Amino acid sequence: MDTVNRVIPQLIGRGKYARPSLGIEIDADINETITAQLGVKGVVILKVRQGSPAAQAGLKGMDRTVSPGDIITAVQGKKVETIAKLMSRLDDFQVGQPIKLSILRNDKEREVMVPLSSEQQ
C-alpha cells in the first residue's frame, strides 16, 4: 500500500514515476542459475553502471572470468531472495535516500550504504 501511495501522486503530478535505482544490471534467469549453483539466496549483480550510486559504494559486478559479482542478500536488514523482492524493497524508499545493503562477496558478508538514484519508468 505504501508503494501505491508513493507512485500514484508522482504519476498524477508529473505524468511519470521515478523508480528508486541502485545503478546495477540484473537478470532473473541468470540470477536463478547462479544462486542455485552457489547455494545462496539473493540478487547477483551482473554489472555496476559507471558513476552510479552502486559504483560509488564500491559494489562489484561479474568479471570477465564469469565469477559472480556481489550478491545482495538484504535491504535495510530485510532479506532479498529474488529480483522481484529487491525491486519491491527499493520501492519502500525515496530517490536520494541512502539505504543499507547486505551483500555477499567472496563468501564474506558485508554491509554498504548506497544512496538511491532515479530510474525513469
Kindly list the structural domains of the chain, giving each domain's residue range(s) and its CATH number in brackets, ordered by start. Answer: 20-120 (2.30.42.10)
CA angle (86, 46, 101) in 5-degree steps: 40
CB-count burial class (<10 Å; 0-12, 13-18, 19+) for 81: middle
pTM listed for this prediction: 0.72
User: What span, in angstroms and rounded, lies between the C-alpha atoms of 64 and 67?
Assistant: 8
At residue 20, the pLDDT reads 82
Average pLDDT score over residue span 74-83: 95
Res 121 pLDDT > 70: no
**pLDDT per residue as tens digits for the range 17-64:** 777 889 999 999 999 999 998 899 999 999 999 999 999 999 999 877
More confident residue, 21 or 67: 21
At residue 106, the pLDDT reads 86
At residue 68, the pLDDT reads 72
**pLDDT per residue as tens digits for the range 88-119:** 899 889 889 999 999 999 889 999 999 999 87
At residue 1, the pLDDT reads 53
